A and B are shown apart, each in its own frame.
Chain A
Amino acid sequence: MITVHANFHSHFKELASTGEASFQIENPTVEALAQCICDTYGPKMEAMLIDPDTRELNERGTMFVDARGMRVSMSDALNDGDTITFLVGIAGG
């Protein structure tokens, strides 16, 4: 069991009603974290987080990065204490 921290911004923060949360996951992967977040916050969060066609992380209009600013994908491994940040991916205007 490891503890992973999530930072939620913009629409993610609205869906989670918080900017930060920690999750305990058995499987140390992004996939397990994503599942845990969906279970916690419900179908709207799932729609934001998971691509319904591929069941991969939804890459459209979103940005999920690790502490080095690198985008994560489902199969990436996580370590105890890692933080993943959930952002809205839009530019310009």
Chain B
Amino acid sequence: MESRLLRVDLTTGKMRSEVIPHSVFERWIGGSGINNWIMWEHFLTHDINCDPRGPDNIFVFGVGPLAGTGAGSGIKGRITFKSPCYNMFGDSAGGGKFPYMLRFTAFEYIAITGKSPKPVYLHICNDEVSLVDASHLWGRDTLETHTMLREELGTYPSHAHTLSISQAGENQVGIASVVSDALRIHARCGGGAVMGSKNLKAIAVQGNGGLKIQMPEEMLAWSDDFRQKIDENEAVYGFKRRGTLGAVEMYQHIGSHFWRNNQGNMFRGGEITSDNWVKKYHKYSEVCSSDCFIACDAKYKIDGTESEASKKYIGETFRRPEYLTTGSAAGALDVRDWSEVAHWGKITNDYGIDNQDLSCAISFLMELKQRDLISDRDVAELFDREQSLRWGNMDDIEFCVESIVFQKNLFGKIFGDGPYLGAIKYSELKGQNFMKYATYGKGGASFTEEMRPFPTWMNNMAVASRGADHLKGIGLIEKFQRKDLSKIYFDGRTEAADLSVPTLKGASTALIENQVALLNSYGVCLFHWMLDPAGYTPQDYYGKAYAAATGIDRTPDELMLDGARICNLEKAFNSRIGMRREHDTVCERWMWEPTDEGMYPGSVAAEMFNPVLDEYYEWRGWDKDSGLQTRKSLEDVGLEDVADVLENEGSLA
């Protein structure tokens, strides 16, 4: 297995192609694993404490070895960089066709440094690469940018597929995202601000090259088996129909939404809690990726008859909202009309901005207003106009979004890096401590879900390498009470699935983080794994597809070690910039304020937080007092060189 990396220095305009040798795949698998290593090496010769919006930051795009192979499961691309909003390790996954189309050019990885003197886009057409003036695209949103690039680049050797930023990225808003083909968002951590800071408006790829699969027959057999497993699984069929919106009713039943800045955990309003609206959507012929056997995407078109509010959006069409789009609108902001929820999804995508950070920032402010902690005058000072900040008021919400995207006013400037830094800055400005109402973990905005009854989920929020995160350590064993999985992973023990005890929750985080790191490095969509057609065991199952694609065949134990190695590198990055145990924490609301509704009332993080965190460090072999890695823990996963770097900088326990 070998691959090609395109290095672009935007300051000088120089570009060069490098081979990524087999040995790098042996060590870092691919996708996010290789991205991490490219970034790590970069920051051995550049200041890791650099301004993330400065030319020394790096922006890496990479795609896993299963993408475009027809495996039916390797879909996701990944961007990796130092996060401008959280000032730590940053990365974000995204689907669509861009990732595998990049593989049909001469490259699979792109590393961009420096800063262009003027706005440009990077065009990769098979093995030809160029930086093209983007002044005509500057000031456009992601849909306009994608549409214009498609038109200007034509259809040979293929349609153009794009990654682009909107005005939010251009304005270097910390929570600005990168959008793939104007449809699928790499939302987390502010990759859009990094592109904007480099004057890089977009990346467009066109390719018609082939892919080399090391063991094609094995790949075909794996792919057939995977399709059969999916076809046989009725739950997967249900997922095709509803996508992640299938979670709305489950979350409503157990009390797992994030209502009004997490003052509650159930949605309000009959329509919003029903699944009537699901029937309004039809299957999208153009799914997230044509290399996905599940295809959970659908689209909507508002015809104005759905509700009074929908009349404002007649003709609007976009992808059906995902759960977290719904969770942020119907939950965090208490929007009760489906057309408005859908509209929220569309504008946050077109503006390329993270709707979790956004909704947590806006709902933080709405709660201050609800509690009369700020006056109408304070609000006018923030927005340069009167603003009701009433829960669910879509006009107000849309103005908040535009305030941030276009940096229109004080609100936009204060909250452009999300709710955590926004709450700190606003508390300082007003001389009052409002942190009690900010929802975050490790400085990252909350995912708009209730965390408090779920100790593994909560631990994920505290320890994830990119700040509050339910993806890297997904606490599904516990949330879905999967005793069967607990038994498989922990020698017959069931406590990992028991919500009432802290035991095995930290262990679950470490174990699932390793698995997810592997899946992210293959490029497998996490829904494929979560739906479990293959038995929730990526080291056994998806590893076989990886072996067919790359020729790198590993035992399940070796693969788990690979996952642990990838996680340890992300941790080492954060240790180098000074993050310690005290950073592995969550907000006051989760820590101390009990839930008062849902199936698990009275839940509070503080009950189990420290024992779970201690157990997590133990399973990782890290030092419990400082939270730092030990030399042994790094040597155990083959990272002696990383231990040397940390030791030199005083970041090793």
Contacts and interface: CB of A to CB of B under 8 A. Distances in A.
A binds B: yes
Interface of A: 7, 9-11, 13-14, 44, 47-48, 56, 58-63, 65, 68-71, 73, 85, 87-93
B235 interface: yes
Nearest to A58: B235
A15 B236 CA distance: 14
The 7 residue pairs across chains A and B that have the minimum distance between CB atoms:
A93-B244, A11-B238, A69-B599, A61-B235, A93-B322, A60-B532, A71-B481
A93 B471 CA distance: 10
Contacts of B254: 65, 69
B600 A90 contact: no
Interface of B: 232-239, 241-247, 249-250, 253-254, 275, 322-325, 447, 449, 470-471, 474, 476, 479-485, 497, 526-527, 530-533, 535-536, 599-600
B323 A88 contact: no
B323 A92 contact: yes
A61 B253 contact: no
Contacts of B233: 47, 60-61
A89 B532 CA distance: 11
B235 A48 contact: yes
6 contacts: A61-B236, A61-B531, A61-B532, A65-B481, A71-B497, A92-B447
A16 B191 CA distance: 44
B244 A90 contact: yes
Contact of B533 (A44, A60, A71): A60
A90 B249 contact: no
Given A47-B233, A71-B480, 8 more contacts: A9-B253, A11-B235, A60-B532, A65-B254, A88-B250, A92-B244, A92-B470, A93-B247
Contacts of A88: 235, 238-239, 242, 246-247, 249-250
Nearest to A56: B484
B482 A59 contact: yes
A89 B233 CA distance: 14
Nearest to A44: B234
Contacts of B533: 60
B472 to A, nearest CB: 11
B482 A68 contact: no
Contacts of B527: 90, 92-93
Contacts of B244: 90-93
Given A48-B234, A71-B480, A90 B250 contact: yes
A56 B484 CA distance: 11
- Among A10, A63, A73, A91, max chain B CB count under 10 A is at A91
A91 B275 CA distance: 16
Given A61-B233, A88-B247, A11 B241 contact: yes
Contacts of A59: 480, 482, 484-485, 532
B531 A9 contact: no
Given A85-B253, A91-B530, A62 B235 contact: yes
A71 B235 CA distance: 17
A44 B533 CA distance: 16
A14 B275 CA distance: 10
A30 to B, nearest CB: 14
- Among A11, A70, A93, max chain B CB count under 10 A is at A93
B532 A91 contact: no
B355 to A, nearest CB: 11
Contact of B246 (A7, A10, A60): A10
A13 B238 CA distance: 11
Contacts of B474: 91-92
A48 to B, nearest CB: 4
A9 to B, nearest CB: 4
A10 B323 CA distance: 13
B250 A9 contact: yes
A93 B447 CA distance: 10
A47 to B, nearest CB: 4
B275 A13 contact: yes
Contacts of A85: 253
B329 to A, nearest CB: 13
Contact of B480 (A47, A56, A89, A92): A89
B250 A63 contact: yes
A9 B238 CA distance: 11
A10 B250 contact: yes
A33 to B, nearest CB: 18
Contacts of B243: 93
B351 to A, nearest CB: 19
B440 to A, nearest CB: 18
Contacts of A63: 250, 480-481
Nearest to B279: A14
B491 to A, nearest CB: 19
Given A11-B235, A13-B275, A87 B241 contact: no
B247 A91 contact: yes
Given A60-B532, A60-B533, A90 B246 contact: yes
Contacts of A60: 233, 235, 531-533, 535-536
Given A9-B249, A59-B484, A65-B254, A93 B323 contact: yes
A44 B236 CA distance: 12
A11 B253 CA distance: 15
B196 to A, nearest CB: 26
A85 B250 CA distance: 9
- Among A68, A70, A87, A88, max chain B CB count under 10 A is at A88
A44 B485 CA distance: 24
Nearest to A46: B234
